[in-house]
Structure 1
């Protein structure tokens, strides 16, 4: 049976995540989190001594969920190209749905502690792509390449090429956003495989 303290902590984390999803890190103030969670401000500070400490845990929990989802596809069946496309498209499609949260996790100006948690997220996601690329090279599906550099380029393309424009509303329609996501995933696959080929994105859209 869970203790009330554990319940309160989980409640606060969920409330903070929901608030960040709506307004981002900067506007997610502690009093607003307490109100969202239905707890006293003193209770909030007993569980999380500062806003930075709370937001670090928000980043850790949300980013781990994203990494686990991508890793699940990366370890599935099919060719390396198919799994790379599926994993990259999963990230892209989730970013399309949760634009504010994606921006907060990737690009919003934050305190150093939160930035450190976001860098950990980038490294974990890059490792998912490294795993696929390594197998593709072993199977002679991808040419020899610097695996870490290629994976870092994929993460950078997804974070900077997709999440930034999504947050700035420079892509004004859903069609434009989806086309941007498709173009970036295609660029990533071409860069790793060295081939120009069609992407089976119509079969992947339900995985977001």
Structure 2
């Protein structure tokens, strides 16, 4: 019985957390980070002040949660095994395109860009807690492929940047500037496939 109650309370806490994060994101976009108070976030989300402060003791903690959840992927999204660079990069690339297509990802970057002059710590949080961990997972995969002998990569940092950049430059960045920019699932797959071909050809291990 206690287990059932525990599961129920966990579900309720998760639902309230989602309401708070959604309300905070909306208000940060509408009013700016500085003008948005925790009290206002509590009112918008419909949760009590006690619940809000229990989940997030500060706006900084709340923004960190927005970053973490924007960059989060499903548990099954483990790095693909090394051995086939085309299959592995295709899996990673399509996951990345799907991640960038989330509305909350665009919202996150808009908040950071708008508040950068006054709150550079927001950009630091976005970079260190969101972008870099994801980038590092791609870099580690490429190093694993290098160790397996499927590719020859002298600079894994550069290779990871090249691959992710080819995808984000079409799928994501125009959406920040062009309100009606839309990329279909088929087009996103094509962008990923071309990025995979480019990287695979550039770093192919060719033995005499």
1:104 matches 2:107: yes
**For residue 92 of structure 2, what is the aligned residue in structure 1?**
87
**Is the helix fraction higher in 1 or 2?**
1
Instruction: List aligned pairs for 1:28-39, cutoff 5 A.
Output: 29=36, 30-31=38-39, 33-39=41-47
Report if the CA contact (8 A) 1:76-1:83 is conserved: yes
**For residue 21 of structure 2, what is the aligned residue in structure 1?**
17
Aligned match for 1:51, one of 48, 59, 81: 59
1:50 & 1:20 partners in 2: Cα distance? 12
C-alpha displacement at 1:156, in angstroms?
A: 3.9
Unaligned runs of 5+ in 1: 197-208
2:69 & 2:95 partners in 1: Cα distance? 18
Aligned length: 189
Aligned match for 1:168, one of 177, 180, 183: 177
Report if the CA contact (8 A) 1:85-1:189 is conserved: no
Cα distance per residue 1:24-75 (max 9 Å; x no partner): 8433844554245421345424543432321112212442x228564x2x23
1:191 matches 2:196: no
Unaligned runs of 5+ in 2: none
1:27 matches 2:35: no
**For residue 179 of structure 1, what is the aligned residue in structure 2?**
187
User: What secondary structure is seen at the aligned counterpart in 1 of 2:172?
Assistant: helix
Report if the CA contact (8 A) 1:19-1:33 is conserved: yes
**For residue 140 of structure 1, what is the aligned residue in structure 2?**
149
Scaled by the length of structure 1, the TM-score of the pair is 0.67
Q: Which has the larger radius of gyration?
A: 2
Cα distance, 1:173–1:33 mapped onto 2, change above 3 Å: same
Scaled by the length of structure 2, the TM-score of the pair is 0.67
Could you list the runs of 4 or more consecutive aligned residues of structure 1 that deviate by over 6 angstroms after TM superposition?
3-8
